[in-house]
Structure formats: C-alpha cells, structure tokens
Structure 1
Amino acid sequence: MVDLAQYLPILIFLGIALLLSSAFVFLPMLVGRLTGAHKPDPAKLSEYECGFPAFEEPRSQFDVRFYLVAILFIIFDLEAAFLFPWAVSLEQIGWAGWATMMVFIGELVLGLVYAWKKGALDWE
C-alpha cells in the first residue's frame, strides 16, 4: 500500500506554483482594470514602434525559411550544449566517449551538408 502522505510536499508545491502563476497572470489584468489603463483611445492605439502604419496585416504568414533557420539554429545550439560537458569530462570517458562524440558530430555535419545542398541556408 502506498503511503499518500509522501505526496503531500509535491501537492503543496503544485498548489503554490498554481497560485503564483495565476497571480502573475490575473493580478496585472485586475490592476489595469482598477486603474483605468484598459480604456483605449486613439493615442494608445497609434503606432509606437516605428512611427508609421504597418504595410501589411500583422497576422500575415512568415516565409518557411524563417522556420528552417530557427530549426537549424536550435540543432547547432544543442550541439554546442553537448560539446562543453563532453570536453570537460573527456578524460573520464576515454576513447569510447571520444568516438561517440565523433559519430554525433559526423551526423550533424551530414545534416549541415544536406541542408546546404537543399538550399536551406540560401537567402534570396
């Protein structure tokens, strides 16, 4: 039989997390309503980033190349995240760890060559 009292700290933690996250979401909305900051007027609705109206709808679709560049960035950023701990622990993991990382880097190089050949890195 499982002793349910062991789960009490987890439930308390989840309750506090839910309370704090709800406060961070709903408290600014409540303060905005109470202070009158939610009342729109032409000055509040005017363009403020660049000073002139937008050329197109803000909900327009992005070109797929933006997503490809983002995915490639994430892949190679993760490679860097794996390389640092590997380099620090290389003395302990020995030749097996070195060979494993070379296979990993080889796969990433093949992926980079494939993306390059397909034109994912070309920007028109």
Structure 2
Amino acid sequence: MMSDYGLLGIYILFAIAIPASMLLMPWALTAIRVKPQHPDSVKDDTYECGMRTVGGSWVRFNFRYYYYAISFLVFSIETVFLFPWAVHARKLHWFGFSAMVVFIAIITIGLVYEWRKKALDWS
C-alpha cells in the first residue's frame, strides 16, 4: 500500500501535468501540422450571432461596475465568515465575540470609505 505522501505526490503530478498538457497541446499539434493554419480576415472578424457587427469590438466600459462587484464579493465573503461564528458563538465566549467585532469593524470601515469616496453613487 502506498503511503500518504506517495498519493499526494501522484496528485501533485496530475495537478501539474493536466493543465500543462492543455496549454501545450495546441502548440504541439500546430507544430506537427495536425491543426491547419490558414489565417483569414473573416476568421479574425468579430462574430455576433451571424449578424454584422456595428462599430469596433472594443467599447468603453464604466468602471463603477467593478466597485459594485468587488463590494458584493467582500460582503458575501463576510457572510461566509459570520455564519460559522454565529453557529458556535456560545462556545467561543468573549474571544470569539471580540474577534468578530474587530472583523465587522474592519468591514464597516471599508464600507464607510467607499461611501465617502462616492464609489457607490451613480450621479
């Protein structure tokens, strides 16, 4: 029977080999001429459901959407940390309570900072 470290080594080997093969396979198939390589302007054109595109493919994107996305991620991760604490709040006593107060204070400081910088305003 294999030791635990042997199984871990096999797992790490597969974890490296599979993504590496996925990255190197297109290059190798092109090098041995399995994959045809015929550049064409039609192939480089932006495709939109069979219809001709209007304008360029690069458009300006409002960066404020990222603020909302990052804020959503921060607060959803906060709930991931708060839920186990709420389940075991009685066992953690004052240490757990003070740790969560500090954690919530840090998150609240971040929210106040966003609010003052007007990152959440759309006007």
What TM-score range do you get, normalising by the shorter chain? 0.5 to 0.7
Structure holding more helix per residue: 1
Query: Moved runs in structure 1, 4+ residues, more than 6 A?
Result: none
Give the TM-score taking structure 2 as reference length.
Answer: 0.64
Counterpart of 2:34? 34
Q: In 2, are the aligned partners of 1:47 and 1:53 still within 8 Å (CA)?
A: no
Alignment length, in residue pairs?
A: 117
Give the TM-score taking structure 1 as reference length.
Answer: 0.64
Q: Give 5+ residue unaligned stretches, structure 1.
A: 1-6
C-alpha displacement of 1:48: 1.3
Q: Compared with structure 1, are the counterparts of its residues 102 and 49 closer, same or farther at alpha carbon in structure 2 (3 Å cutoff)?
A: farther
RMSD: 3.4
Counterpart residue identity of residue 119, structure 2: A
CA distance in structure 1 between the partners assigned to 2:55 and 2:79 by the alignment: 38
CA distance in structure 1 between the partners assigned to 2:55 and 2:87 by the alignment: 49
The structure with higher relative contact order (CA 8 Å, sep 6+) is 1
Q: Give 5+ residue unaligned stretches, structure 2.
A: none
1:34 alignment partner, SS class:
coil
